[in-house]
């Protein structure tokens, strides 16, 4: 059973707490807005930086792609020349077969060498130790 004094106390507490709650809510909303704006600003800056960098490296990327295409065409011409050279001694179909087998064996050898050069052990790259002071604090969820 509530008495008149209890009701009076609740009204006084409500009168005191309401403005404090409103001010706290306003400050929290302003802080959220500031954080949101700061994060958006950082995202915009990173996006602009990436676009600028992509525009700068575009000519180099196109040049490397053209070089790769020309290299593939050159290797195909070398293989064709090898077939024509061997065709002087053997029938055309047999020279194409022999050059094809030689190229597949060469590719297998290069692949085997590449596999042998792979690092052994743990493929995870270790993270260098940090000197950030916040990492020295104990995490609250660690037992």
What confidence tens digit (pLDDT) does each residue in 77-104 have? 999 999 999 999 999 888 999 888 999 9
Question: What percent of the chain is modeled with pLDDT above 90?
Answer: 21
What's the pLDDT tens digit per position in 25-42? 888 888 898 889 888 888
Q: Is residue 75 part of a domain?
A: yes
Q: Is residue 127 part of a domain?
A: no
Contact 95, 87 (CB under 8 A): yes
Confidence of residue 67 (pLDDT cuts 50, 70, 90): very high
Q: Is residue 96 part of a domain?
A: yes
Cα–Cα dist 20/5, whole Å? 23
Cα–Cα dist 33/98, whole Å? 71
Q: Note down the domain range covering 19.
A: 8-113
Q: Is residue 137 part of a domain?
A: no
Count of structural domains, the chain: 1
Q: Is residue 130 part of a domain?
A: no
Res 138: pLDDT: 56
Q: Is residue 128 part of a domain?
A: no
The structure tokens 């270790």 sit at 126
Cα–Cα dist 41/47, whole Å? 10
Average pLDDT, integer, range 10-21? 69
Q: Is residue 42 part of a domain?
A: yes
**pTM, entire model:** 0.46
Confidence of residue 120 (pLDDT cuts 50, 70, 90): confident
Q: Is residue 74 part of a domain?
A: yes
């Amino acid at each position: 059973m509530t008495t008149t004094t209890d009701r009076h106390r609740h009204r006084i507490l409500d009168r005191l707490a309401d403005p404090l709650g409103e001010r706290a809510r306003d400050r929290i909303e302003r802080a959220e807005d500031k954080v949101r704006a700061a994060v958006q600003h950082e995202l915009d800056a990173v996006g602009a930086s990436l676009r600028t960098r992509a525009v700068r490296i575009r000519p180099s990327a196109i040049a490397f792609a053209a070089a790769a295409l020309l290299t593939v065409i050159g290797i195909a011409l070398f293989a064709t020349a090898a077939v024509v050279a061997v065709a002087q001694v053997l029938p055309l179909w047999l020279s194409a077969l022999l050059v094809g087998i030689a190229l597949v064996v060469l590719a297998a050898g290069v692949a085997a060498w590449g596999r042998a050069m792979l690092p052994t052990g743990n493929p995870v790259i270790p993270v260098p130790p940090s000197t950030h002071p916040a990492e020295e604090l104990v995490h609250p969820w660690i037992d």
